[in-house]
A and B are shown apart, each in its own frame.
Chain A
Amino acid sequence: AQSVAQPEDQVNVAEGNPLTVKCTYSVSGNPYLFWYVQYPNRGLQFLLKYITGDNLVKGSYGFEAEFNKSQTSFHLKKPSALVSDSALYFCAVQGGTDSWGKFQFGAGTQVVVTP
C-alpha cells in the first residue's frame, strides 16, 4: 500500500520569506513523487516530480523539492514567496511495479502568503 501525509493544513508566510510545504510518504518499492498546486476554481496544476537521480528537483514558478530517502520526505520549497503563491498544494506518490496512473494524493496544504 502507498500513502502520503501532509502534516500541515495551512502554512502562513510573509511575502519575500522562504516557503516550505512538508510531505512524507510510505510506499513499497521505489517512490515516484509529485507536487501539484490548485488555485481557486481551477484543477490541479503540475509543479515538479522526482523519479530518479538528483535528490533536488527544480520545477515551475521557482519551486523546488528535496527527496530524502532516509526520512521518507519530499518537502516543497521556494526561497522567496509571492502573494500569488497563495493556493492549495498537494503532494502525491506512485509506488510499486504495477501502480502506473494510480496516484495517492495527500489532503493538501493551504498556503497563505501575506504582503
Chain B
Amino acid sequence: ETGVTQTPRHLVMGMTNKKSLKCEQHLGHNAMYWYKQSAKKPLELMFVYSLEERVENNSVPSRFSPECPNSSHLFLHLHTLQPEDSALYLCASSQDGAGTYNEQFFGPGTRLTVL
C-alpha cells in the first residue's frame, strides 16, 4: 500500500452505534489530520496531530474522539452521532513543523451515513 489509506470506505450507522474510522499513512510523515467534507461547503478541519500529540481541535463535538497511537495511524471514534454528521471524512498527512508549508496528502475518505 502506498500513500494514505482509509477504512472503511463506506459506513452506515444508527445514532446509538459506536464505530471507528481508521487512517494509515505510508509516507513517513509526522503530522496527520481529520477533515469533514459536506456538499457545497468548505472542508472543515477537525483535528491535527503532530508527532502523535493533538495540536488542534476546532471545536468539534465530543461525540467525535480522535486517537493517534503512532505517527502512521489515526483513528476517529464515533458515538451517538446525529444525522447532520453524515459526510465524507477525509484523513490527510504531511511532513510539517513550525515554518514549513508542505502540501498535505489525502486518503480516499470514508462516506458516513447516520440514520
- Interface residue ranges, A against B (CB under 8 Å): 4, 9, 32, 34, 36, 41-46, 49, 51, 90, 94, 98, 100-108
Contact = CB atoms under 8 A, between A and B. Distances in A.
Query: Top 9 nearest A-B pairs by Cβ distance?
Result: A43-B106, A105-B43, A32-B101, A46-B103, A44-B106, A105-B42, A107-B42, A43-B108, A101-B96
Interface of B: 4, 6, 31, 33, 40-43, 45, 48, 50, 55-56, 90, 92, 94, 96-101, 103-109
B101 A102 contact: no
Contacts of A101: 31, 33, 48, 50, 55-56, 94, 96, 104
15 contacts: A32-B101, A34-B103, A43-B92, A43-B107, A43-B109, A44-B90, A44-B92, A44-B104, A100-B100, A101-B31, A101-B104, A102-B45, A103-B43, A103-B104, A105-B42
A51 B103 contact: no
Contacts, number: 60
A100 B98 contact: yes
Contacts of A106: 42
Contacts of B104: 44, 46, 101, 103
Contacts of B31: 101
Nearest to B9: A41
Nearest to A100: B96
A4 B43 CA distance: 11
A43 B6 CA distance: 10
Contacts of B48: 101-102
